[in-house]
C-alpha cells in the first residue's frame, strides 16, 4: 500500500513534468484542476495533517471504511470517526500489589492458571530405567529443591508484575561466568531462588556496553540482558544461570520501553475488576441506606442569597437532623419544614453484576464456572465444555510458558540428581481432566471388549495387550517381570530342536512346537507350572 508521502512525491513529479512541458512549448497553459486537486490531497502540512480541499472534507483519506460526504459517515463530521485509543493506564507496582492483596477476584485471576499448570505436574520417561530408580531420584531431587513450588511462584509473579527470574545456585561455580550444563555433577544444584522483576536489574553502566544484551537471534533470550543483579547485592549473574519467566507479551517497541519486560496480566483486566467491585459497593451502600431523606426548608433560597452564612446554617440544620435521626432514631423538624423519604431502588443490580462478570471473565480468559467455582445455569448445562476449553488453554500455557523453562532447568537438575543426563529422557504434563469412576469403568469395559475381539480374530497377541496394560498403569500389581514372562511364551525355539524319542510313561511325548518352549524350560511362578505337551498324533494346541 502506498503511503501519503509516496503519493505526494508522485503528484509533485507529475506537476513538475507538466510545468516543464508547458515551458518547452512556450504556451501559457494552466495545470489541470484535477491534477492540482490530486496534489493537494496527498500533501500534508507541517503538523502532518491533510489540508482542506474544496469539495472534500479535511482528512478525507485519513480514515478507512465506508464514507459519505452528504451524511457525514466516515468524515470528521462523524462522531464515531473522532474516537481513538489513547495511551493505556499502566498500573504501578504498588497498585498491582494492593489489588492482589485486597481483591479476591484479582488474586484469583493471577493465581488460578499457575496453580493449574503445576497442579498435576509431570510424568518422567527413561527407557533404560525399568525399575524406576532414576525417576525416583529425580522426583526426590525435585522435592528437596521445591521445584514445583518455585515454578508456581515464578509463574504467579510473572503474571502479576510482568516477569520474574529463577536463580540457580550451583556448587563451586562463579555466577558471573556462562554456565556449561555438562559441568554440573552429582548434587551440584544446591538451591533455587525466585524473584520478581522489581528485585533484579541490569546496572546502567552495563546497558551502555556493546555486549549488554543478547543479540543472537537463535537464542530464545534474544534482546534480554546478558547479566542481572539482585537488588542490594553487587554479585553479577550471567543470563545462562537464570531462568526467565515472562508475563503478557508486548510489541517490540513497547517491550523495550518497559525495560525489556512484558506486561502484567492485570493491566488489561483491572479496569473490569474495578467496575465490578464499584458496582458491588454501590449496591451495598444503597442497601445500608435503604432510603433517601429529602428535607425541605422554607426560605432556603433567600437564606443562601441574602445571608453570607446561609450555606453554613443549612449545613448545620441538616447535620443536626441526621445526627438526631442516627442517635435517637427520631426526626425533629420545625412546623413549616417538610421531610420526604424516597426508597432506594435495588432492582437490576444482579443483571449489572452478571454483565461485569462476563466481561471480566472474557478479559481474564477464565470461564465463569472456573473463576467463581459455581455450577453452570440451565437444566442441561454441565459446564464440561467450558472446563475442557479452559484446560486446553492451560495445556497451551504449559507448552509455551513452562516447558521451555523446565527443559533448561532439567539440563542442570537431572545431572545433579543422577550425575549424568540420559539420552532417552523425556517427560509429559499430566492431564488436568479427571474422569469419575463410572465413566472410567465404562472406558475400561470398552477397551477390554475391543482387546478380546482383536485377540479372538488373531489381530493381537496376549503379550501386546499385557504390555499396553502395563504402560497404561491399569493394574498396580502388574510389573515389567510379568510383561517379560508373557513375552517369553512366544519366543522361537533354537533351530534343530526335535521331539524326544519315544513316548513317556504317561503315554505322551514332548513335541517341539514352533514358537513354544518345552514345559521343562518354562519359567515357574510359585508352584504353578504351565505344561506345553500334547498327546501324540494330535494337532498342536496352544497353552
pLDDT tens per residue, range 326-349: 666 677 777 777 877 777 677 777
* Average pLDDT of the segment spanning 307-327: 78
Residue 529 has pLDDT above 50, yes or no: no
pTM of the model: 0.67
* Residue 105: how many other CB atoms lie within 10 Å: 20
pLDDT band of residue 382 (cuts 50, 70, 90) is low
Predicted confidence at residue 480, as pLDDT, reads 81
Residue with more model confidence, 390 or 386: 390
CA distances from 267 to 113, 397, 408 (A): 16, 19, 29
pLDDT band of residue 179 (cuts 50, 70, 90) is very high
**Measured between alpha carbons, how far is 400 from 280 in angstroms, rounded to an integer?**
36
Predicted confidence at residue 250, as pLDDT, reads 93
Q: Which helix (H) or strand (E) holds 319?
A: helix 310-328
What are the residue boundaries of the structural domains of the chain, listed by start? Answer: 4-82, 91-290+344-433, 437-488
Residue 261 has pLDDT above 70, yes or no: yes
What is the tens place of the pLDDT at every residue in 37-52? 544 544 445 555 545 5
| Angle made by CA atoms 521, 526, 532, in degrees to the nearest 5 | 35
| Angle made by CA atoms 429, 432, 433, in degrees to the nearest 5 | 135
What is the tens place of the pLDDT at every residue in 139-173? 999 999 999 999 999 999 999 999 999 999 999 99
Predicted confidence at residue 541, as pLDDT, reads 47
Lowest-confidence region among 18-22, 29-33, 90-94, 95-99: 18-22
Q: Are 146 and 246 in contact (CB under 8 A)?
A: no
Residue 516 has pLDDT above 70, yes or no: no
Q: Which helix (H) or strand (E) holds 228?
A: strand 227-230
Residue 485, SS3? helix
Residue with more model confidence, 215 or 416: 416
pLDDT band of residue 378 (cuts 50, 70, 90) is low
Percent of the chain scoring above 70 in pLDDT: 73
DSSP string, 101-143: HH-HHHHHHHHHHHHHHTTS-EEEEETT-TT-HHHHHHHHHHH
Helix axes 93-102, 147-161, angle to 10 degrees: 120
Predicted confidence at residue 369, as pLDDT, reads 87
* Average pLDDT of the segment spanning 15-21: 44
Q: Indicate the Cα dihedral angle 321, 325, 330, 332, nearest 10°.
A: 0
**Measured between alpha carbons, how far is 409 from 191 in angstroms, rounded to an integer?**
12
Predicted confidence at residue 493, as pLDDT, reads 56
Predicted confidence at residue 332, as pLDDT, reads 72
Predicted confidence at residue 24, as pLDDT, reads 42
Helix axes 133-145, 403-418, angle to 10 degrees: 110
What is the tens place of the pLDDT at every residue in 95-138? 999 999 999 999 999 999 999 999 999 999 998 887 889 999 99
Predicted confidence at residue 85, as pLDDT, reads 79
Q: Are 179 and 238 in contact (CB under 8 A)?
A: yes
What is the residue-averaged pLDDT of the chain? 77
- Any idea which residue has 479452559 for its cell? 390
Predicted confidence at residue 206, as pLDDT, reads 55
pLDDT band of residue 77 (cuts 50, 70, 90) is confident
**Phi-psi category of 510—alpha, beta or left, where left has phi over 0 and alpha has psi -120 to 50?**
beta
- Most confident range (mean pLDDT) of 229-238, 279-288, 532-541 is 229-238
pLDDT band of residue 376 (cuts 50, 70, 90) is low
Amino acid at each position: 500500500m502506498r503511503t501519503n508521502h509516496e503519493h505526494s512525491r508522485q503528484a509533485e513529479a507529475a506537476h513538475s513534468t507538466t510545468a516543464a512541458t508547458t515551458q518547452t512549448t512556450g504556451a501559457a497553459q494552466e495545470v489541470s484542476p484535477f491534477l492540482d486537486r490530486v496534489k493537494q490531497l496527498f500533501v500534508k502540512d507541517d503538523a502532518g495533517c491533510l489540508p482542506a480541499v474544496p469539495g472534500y472534507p479535511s482528512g478525507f483519506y485519513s480514515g478507512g471504511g465506508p464514507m459519505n460526504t452528504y451524511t457525514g459517515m466516515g468524515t470528521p463530521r462523524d462522531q464515531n470517526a473522532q474516537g481513538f485509543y489513547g495511551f493505556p493506564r499502566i498500573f504501578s507496582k504498588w497498585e498491582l500489589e494492593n489489588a492482589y492483596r485486597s481483591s479476591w477476584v484479582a488474586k484469583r485471576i493471577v493465581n488460578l492458571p499457575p496453580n493449574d499448570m503445576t497442579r498435576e505436574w509431570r510424568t518422567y520417561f527413561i527407557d533404560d530405567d525399568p525399575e524406576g530408580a532414576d525417576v525416583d531420584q529425580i522426583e526426590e531431587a525435585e522435592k528437596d529443591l521445591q521445584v514445583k513450588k518455585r515454578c508456581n511462584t515464578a509463574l504467579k509473579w510473572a503474571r502479576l508484575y510482568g516477569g520474574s527470574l529463577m536463580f540457580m545456585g550451583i556448587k563451586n561455580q562463579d555466577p558471573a561466568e556462562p554456565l556449561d550444563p555438562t559441568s554440573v555433577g552429582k548434587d551440584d544444584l544446591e538451591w533455587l531462588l525466585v524473584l520478581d522483576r522489581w528485585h533484579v536489574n541490569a546496572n546502567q553502566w552495563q546497558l551502555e556496553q556493546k555486549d549488554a544484551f543478547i543479540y543472537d537471534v537463535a537464542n530464545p533470550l534474544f534482546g534480554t540482558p546478558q547479566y542481572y543483579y539482585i537488588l542490594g547485592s553487587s554479585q553479577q549473574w550471567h543470563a545462562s544461570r537464570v531462568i526467565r519467566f515472562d508475563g503478557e507479551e508486548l510489541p517490540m517497541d513497547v517491550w523495550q520501553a518497559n525495560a525489556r519486560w512484558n506486561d502484567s496480566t492485570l493491566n488489561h483486566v483491572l479496569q473490569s475488576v474495578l467496575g465490578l467491585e464499584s458496582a458491588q459497593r454501590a449496591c451495598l451502600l444503597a442497601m445500608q441506606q435503604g432510603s433517601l431523606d429529602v428535607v425541605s426548608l422554607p426560605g432556603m433560597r433567600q437564606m443562601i442569597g441574602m445571608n453570607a452564612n446561609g450555606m453554613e446554617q443549612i449545613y448545620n440544620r441538616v447535620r443536626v437532623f441526621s445526627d438526631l435521626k442516627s442517635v435517637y432514631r427520631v426526626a425533629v423538624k420545625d412546623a413549616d419544614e417538610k421531610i420526604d423519604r424516597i426508597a432506594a431502588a435495588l432492582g437490576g443490580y444482579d443483571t449489572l453484576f452478571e454483565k461485569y462478570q462476563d466481561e471480566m471473565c472474557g478479559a481474564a480468559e477464565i470461564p465463569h464456572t472456573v473463576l467463581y467455582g459455581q455450577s453452570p445455569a440451565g437444566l442441561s448445562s454441565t459446564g464440561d465444555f467450558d472446563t475442557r476449553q479452559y484446560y486446553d488453554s492451560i495445556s497451551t500455557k504449559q507448552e509455551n510458558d513452562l516447558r521451555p523453562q523446565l527443559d533448561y532447568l532439567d539440563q542442570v537438575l537431572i545431572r545433579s540428581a543422577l550425575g549424568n543426563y540420559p539420552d532417552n529422557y523425556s517427560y509429559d504434563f499430566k492431564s488436568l481432566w479427571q474422569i469419575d469412576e463410572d465413566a472410567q469403568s465404562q472406558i475400561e469395559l470398552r477397551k477390554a471388549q475391543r482387546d478380546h475381539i482383536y485377540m479372538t480374530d488373531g489381530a493381537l497377541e496376549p503379550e501386546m495387550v499385557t504390555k499396553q496394560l502395563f504402560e497404561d498403569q491399569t493394574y498396580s500389581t502388574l510389573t515389567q517381570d510379568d510383561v517379560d514372562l508373557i513375552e517369553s511364551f512366544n519366543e522361537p525355539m533354537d533351530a534343530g530342536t526335535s521331539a524326544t524319542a519315544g513316548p513317556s510313561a504317561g503315554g505322551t511325548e514332548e513335541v517341539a512346537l514352533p514358537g513354544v518352549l518345552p514345559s521343562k524350560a518354562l519359567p515357574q511362578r510359585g508352584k504353578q507350572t504351565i505344561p506345553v505337551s500334547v498327546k501324540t498324533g494330535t494337532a498342536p494346541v496352544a497353552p
